[in-house]
Amino acid sequence: MKLLVSPIRLQPGLSQKAMDRMGSEVEAPRSWPKQHKWRFHQLPCILRRYLVNHERDRERVVRQAQNEAARARQQLAENQKTPEASDGKAREAVRAH
């Protein structure tokens, strides 16, 4: 049998209704499909807040990974251009002599 921790224990002095009202201003994460966002508001306040924070952290990590990948692609493109440019200059130098 699982025991659940009451949200009231996590927020001393607040009733479930008060916590739900506080959480009602929290919007569903952007990653949720529109047809399921209404379900987000049916979840308990503490769970909504957890999901919002978790999604924000996940999106931050994804953006960081995308930015790192973009930088790596740019460096690769620059590195691929550099040997061609120096190779061409070397060929011109050999032709000049």
Token pair listed for 13? 């002095």
Instruction: Tell if the pTM clears 0.75, that is, is over it.
Output: no
CA 23 to CA 46: how far, in whole Å?
Answer: 8
Amino acid 59: pLDDT: 95
Distance in angstroms (rounded) separating the CA atoms of residues 68 and 40: 32
Three-state DSSP class for residue 57: helix
pLDDT digits (tens, 9 = 90+) for 47-83: 999 999 999 999 999 999 999 999 999 999 999 887 6
Record the tokens describing residue 79, joined without a space: 């590195």
Residue 43 burial class via C-beta count within 10 angstroms: exposed 0-12, middle 13-18, buried 19 and up? middle
